[in-house]
Structure 1
Amino acid sequence: MSDLQTKVMELARRRGIFWSSYEIYGGVAGLYDIGPIGIRIKNRIVELWRKYFIKDNAEFVVEIETPLVTPYKVLEASGHVENFTDPIVECTKCHNVYRADHLIEEIAKVNVEGLKPSELDNIIREKGIKCPKCGGDLGEVRLFNLLFETNIGPYTGNKGFIRPETAQGMFTSFKRVYESFRQRLPLGIAQVGRVGRNEISPRQGLIRMREFTIMEVEFFFDPESPGEVPLDKVGDLTINILRGEEKVKGEKPVQYKLREAVDEKVILNPWMAYWMGVATKFVSTLGIPQSSTYFEEKLPHERAHYSKQTFDQIVVIGEDKVEISGHAYRSDYDLSRHMKFSGQDLTVFKKYDTPKIVKKKTVIINRDELNKEGKEFVKTFMQFINGKSPEEVEEMINKGVKVSDKEISKYVKVLEREEKVTGTHFIPHVVEPSFGVERCLYLAVLNAYKEKDGRIVLSLPKQLAPYDLAVFPLLERDELIKKAKEIYNHLQEKYDVIYDDVGSIGKRYARVDEIGVPYSITVDPTTLSDNTVTIRDRDTWNQIRVEIERLDEVIEKLFKGEEFNKLGRVVDNNE
């Protein structure tokens, strides 16, 4: 953990942003409480995400909520039961268990993401990697499933899991949402919800957790007619992309305009490019400059089992590189799998502008001839034919295929007919932008952390600050407290405001600086004579004096970004 991360973790504990859960019992790795200040910041992050991903795209995105507990069959269909694994290795001496790829990366300083257990084993032997705790030999690398298992109800046979992502609930609900939302594509289904992953070695505070909150969109579209992608909203954005083949060569990210990235097939799907652009704009509202982010393309062996192309959005703060979002082109993988395992039709019907005349082959059983045979032959023949397409049957007829030494051509034929078709059924494709809320919170705080004259200032963007304003009486005098509370009560009607009259004014300023409150309003003896107050800026510590009757107007202008020093009389800090 870097010095900056250590300082942020200490600030977070001390100022009620977040801390390790169950501290009085020694804590549990990977589980964190979000404190009263942290929850305010977190809620604002979620609302900002909703604005950029749902409200600004309300013509084709809706939000739902699905259960945390997921039946076994759902995650078997999705591939998580089989594929949601990480490699682990156990010390043969002290029996400490480590995540093998992380251990190799930390000790050998090589990227081994996506390698097979046997390949990780070879690297451990070649590099002579030992147990960091006792120096003992490491055993064989094996795969560990990260799903949290549970029983649904009292019956041991009814197994389920805590969901590892919110996506599957959106896939299984797709047809219901589609039918209730004007039966029109493209369609985005958004969800914010808790998930659980039984991480082997949680680390770096809120970066790798066992329980956390996801914000994601499953965006469904017709792969042949994807609709009008609104790239005009984001297409001129310049983003940094590190392509897979360039990553292998050790190259650095390259700048692309989103339109260029689509035209040059750097990003395979224009809808994924659109959501990457929206993600770029959203991350900038967290105070993280675009110059500090890039999209890293995952290599085939690094991608999840469902993905055709994946980009991780990486944030660079100092020496730290952290994934803040993932963008996957899931194609029709999930809906196809759920159709297969559930037996339900999850296709969409696309009506043609004008009906088409198509030639269609049909298998015809010659019942008269078949009924002349014995029951055993009829059963064998029908089992053989059942489930085969007309094309497969026609090919077998042409090849003279036999059943029980009798050519099938005697009992079956394939006819071709013309039919009028009004449309076609297809399985929609999906792109997915996905964010971890706690990672957004952590990275926003990490990026905002500043030190000034030996004091900590959390320079959060105004829209993320836990409180918009702080109100203080300068001294513990009844008339000043009364006036300060009048202003506090008035401002509460429109803003989130904190009131504090404990300790010196310097300590109160320091407290609100540490939690990121943008502006502090102070009532002092001069207020009683001329009806003015001071407004203090968190980042510069500059102060201006304004009339109370202008307070609403001045605050509104401040939150619109107007220059602080031009909105009132600048106060000498020695006054």
Structure 2
Amino acid sequence: MAGEQLIELAKRRGFFFGSNGAYGGTAGFYTFGPRGAALKRNVEDAWRDRFTLKEGNHEIEAPTVMPEPVFEASGHLDGFDDMLVECGECGVSHRADHLIEDATSIADAETLPGSEVELLIRDHDIACPNCGTPLAGQDVEDFNLMFSTNIGPGDAQPGYLRPETAQGIFVEFPRIKAYARGQLPFGVTQIGPAYRNEISPRGGLLRLREFTQAELEQFIDPEDDDPPLDRVADVDVRLYPAAAQEADDGDYLDTTVGEAVADGVIGSAWVGYYLGVAQEWYERIGVDMGRFRFRQHLPGERAHYAADCWDAESEVGGDWIEIAGFADRGTYDLSKHDAHADDSFTVFKRYDEPKTVERATVDPDMSVLGPEFGGDAGAVAEALEALAERDPDAFDAETVTVDLPDDDAATVDTDVANFSIETETETGEHIIPSVIEPSFGIGRIVQTVLAHAYTVDEIDGEERTYLELAPEIAPVDVAVFPLVSNDDRLVDLADRIAGDLRGHGLSVAHDDSGSIGRRYRRQDEIGTPFCVTVDRDGLEGEGPDSVTVRERDAARQVRVPVDALAEELAALLGDGDAASFETLLERYDSVETDVEAA
């Protein structure tokens, strides 16, 4: 399905559309319409069910605005940049690396230095997409993607809209670990908005300035904690390893999660575990597995702290797009906050058996250090303590010399330092956990499932367009129609049925406008799994009142008693343990009708 077709369908049927159209629109911001908001919410609920509830994880909801020190610690202030090039003629800014990728065969231009990107712009005669003016000679600059704000009035505290939900989890780790009783491993999830001031938003929901993330931070002790890999060991996956991407004849590797971890293709067993979980989840919500892969990050695009990183990618409109990332982030995040914040980001790891250790200590005689070093006496004492821990042998001589913060040195008699070796019994140690992070872009997943669900077939000699959405995420569960709108019996029963179905927790559309065939087509185009039609035959025949139930994909129909309807549909739309539509065809009379083309 072409991207233009999807965007047109999304706008016409109320899935999503550009925001603030009455004021000329604002690039990078999209509004989810009635159908899109429901679909997005269903995707989020399905994610929460799999990655929070079924994994036994904790879920939090942190603020979207955070103070500047958070992002100083995380590194976002200094390193969260994209490459910007501005047209000298029209003044429009562009992502320089995207221009390179669009004009050349280079797939990862963001990993190149700015000077090399400038040369590529010149050598390939790349022009401004807006006005056509050549961009050769224009500087390529780093542009920080965070939205800044002020917290409070007057001399306000500087802050930023979070560029990812993860920092809200990391910052609150000292409190969250208490809820987990300090026992590793444990996971924390969060679903919510994030903000990035993208240079050139594009592709519908693919690159936005405000978007929704669903992230899981799994905190582990890499020495002791292993994932339950056996649960997904046999899950089939299509991998695109870095070595295959760099080879002239590289190709996909079709394997299982267990084999890929055992062979070292996936370097982290935890990453492998979540690739398997995600593979099954994507299939559950309707992603086409023939247009899906896991691609390993190339060395140049992998963050310096990431031991291994893979992206889930889907094919949309002829392009491969990232819809999730899976990274082994090591201790990087918690170590940064532990060094900058006023709290502890460690957990206590208890030993199986207490350990007896020898520890070098000093107890400097401050009555000597004070008169000799004055205001530097405290710094000298701290330097002696650090040296004892780092190099106990330095205290074997009669004097010991330590470096002070102002680049001076201080020499102290060893007996003044009161150096000694003490024996202690330790029951454990404080460690900083490692982090495994699966991070999902909800908007990109919504666009993927819409693109993959888009189907064209023929019913009764007439072309039909419909969305083959998984019932779990379809924005409407059931549509209810009176066959005609001028018969009060049909209209009243349709109203009663709609209310009864809503009472069973189903999302119901009620439509009595136009021919029944057109109503079916409208529901098909938004992916409604089932349509219920109230007709005279169901009220005037022998036996209890009945209605027809039509399933979307093959347009088959079956007549079901009104009294049994709600329970039957609730079962069909349940959690996967329910019977299929085939069981209705076995228990009730099928209906042959020509109203499809009416």
TM category, shorter: over 0.9
| Amino acid in the other structure paired with 2:594 | N
Map of 2:519 onto structure 1: 508
Using a 3 Å threshold, how does the CA distance of structure 1 residues 245 and 509 change in structure 2: closer, same or farther?
same
| Amino acid in the other structure paired with 2:126 | I
Please show how residues 94-105 of structure 1 align to structure 2 within 5 Å. Answer: 94-105=90-101
Give the CA deviation at 1:414. Answer: 3.9
Map of 2:405 onto structure 1: none
Using a 3 Å threshold, how does the CA distance of structure 1 residues 21 and 317 change in structure 2: closer, same or farther?
closer
| Amino acid in the other structure paired with 2:124 | K
Give the CA deviation at 1:141. Answer: 0.9
Deviation sequence 1:133-159 (CA, Å, 0-9, x none): 222334011110000000001134511
Give the CA deviation at 1:366. Answer: 4.9
Using a 3 Å threshold, how does the CA distance of structure 1 residues 438 and 371 change in structure 2: closer, same or farther?
closer
Give the CA deviation at 1:292. Answer: 2.5
Give the CA deviation at 1:96. Answer: 2.1
| Amino acid in the other structure paired with 2:422 | R
Local SS of the residue matching 1:54: helix
Unaligned residue ranges in structure 1 (runs of 5+): none
Give the CA deviation at 1:230. Answer: 1.5
Deviation sequence 1:383-416 (CA, Å, 0-9, x none): 7546445223634766976477856546436422
Conserved? CA contact 1:88–1:143, under 8 Å? yes
Give the CA deviation at 1:306. Answer: 4.4
Please show how residues 324-403 of structure 1 align to structure 2 within 5 Å. Answer: 324-366=323-365, 370=369, 373=372, 375=374, 378=377, 381-382=380-381, 385=384, 387-392=386-391, 394-395=393-394, 402=401
**More deviation in 346-355 or 119-128?**
119-128
RMSD: 2.3
Give the CA deviation at 1:377. Answer: 7.9
Using a 3 Å threshold, how does the CA distance of structure 1 residues 521 and 414 change in structure 2: closer, same or farther?
same
**More deviation in 184-193 or 390-399?**
390-399
Map of 2:252 onto structure 1: 253
**Do residues 479 (structure 1) and 475 (structure 2) align?**
no
| Amino acid in the other structure paired with 2:64 | L
Local SS of the residue matching 1:178: helix
**Do residues 518 (structure 1) and 538 (structure 2) align?**
no
Map of 1:128 onto structure 2: 125
Please show how residues 413-432 of structure 1 align to structure 2 within 5 Å. Answer: 414-432=419-437
Unaligned residue ranges in structure 2 (runs of 5+): 403-408
| Amino acid in the other structure paired with 1:116 | P
Using the alignment, how far apart are the partners of 1:191 and 1:320 within structure 2?
29
Map of 2:20 onto structure 1: 22
**Do residues 454 (structure 1) and 463 (structure 2) align?**
yes
Using the alignment, how far apart are the partners of 2:82 and 2:305 within structure 1?
16
Deviation sequence 1:67-114 (CA, Å, 0-9, x none): 010100001100111111000112223322110110000012322232
Deviation sequence 1:330-379 (CA, Å, 0-9, x none): 11111110011114221111112221111111134355764674647857
Using the alignment, how far apart are the partners of 1:399 and 1:26 within structure 2?
80
Conserved? CA contact 2:490–2:534, under 8 Å? yes
Using the alignment, how far apart are the partners of 2:169 and 2:378 within structure 1?
42
Using the alignment, how far apart are the partners of 2:256 and 2:397 within structure 1?
55
Map of 1:118 onto structure 2: 115
Please show how residues 256-267 of structure 1 align to structure 2 within 5 Å. Answer: 256-267=255-266
Give the TM-score taking structure 1 as reference length. 0.93
Identical residues among aligned pairs (%): 38
Using a 3 Å threshold, how does the CA distance of structure 1 residues 402 and 470 change in structure 2: closer, same or farther?
closer
Using the alignment, how far apart are the partners of 1:337 and 1:370 within structure 2?
34
Give the TM-score taking structure 2 as reference length. 0.90
Map of 1:223 onto structure 2: 222
**Do residues 469 (structure 1) and 478 (structure 2) align?**
yes
**More deviation in 308-317 or 470-479?**
308-317
**Do residues 68 (structure 1) and 82 (structure 2) align?**
no
Conserved? CA contact 2:314–2:320, under 8 Å? yes
**Do residues 572 (structure 1) and 577 (structure 2) align?**
no
| Amino acid in the other structure paired with 1:53 | F
Conserved? CA contact 1:448–1:459, under 8 Å? yes
Map of 1:143 onto structure 2: 142
**More deviation in 246-255 or 47-56?**
246-255
Using a 3 Å threshold, how does the CA distance of structure 1 residues 547 and 392 change in structure 2: closer, same or farther?
same
Conserved? CA contact 1:385–1:393, under 8 Å? no
**More deviation in 11-20 or 503-512?**
503-512
Map of 1:528 onto structure 2: 539
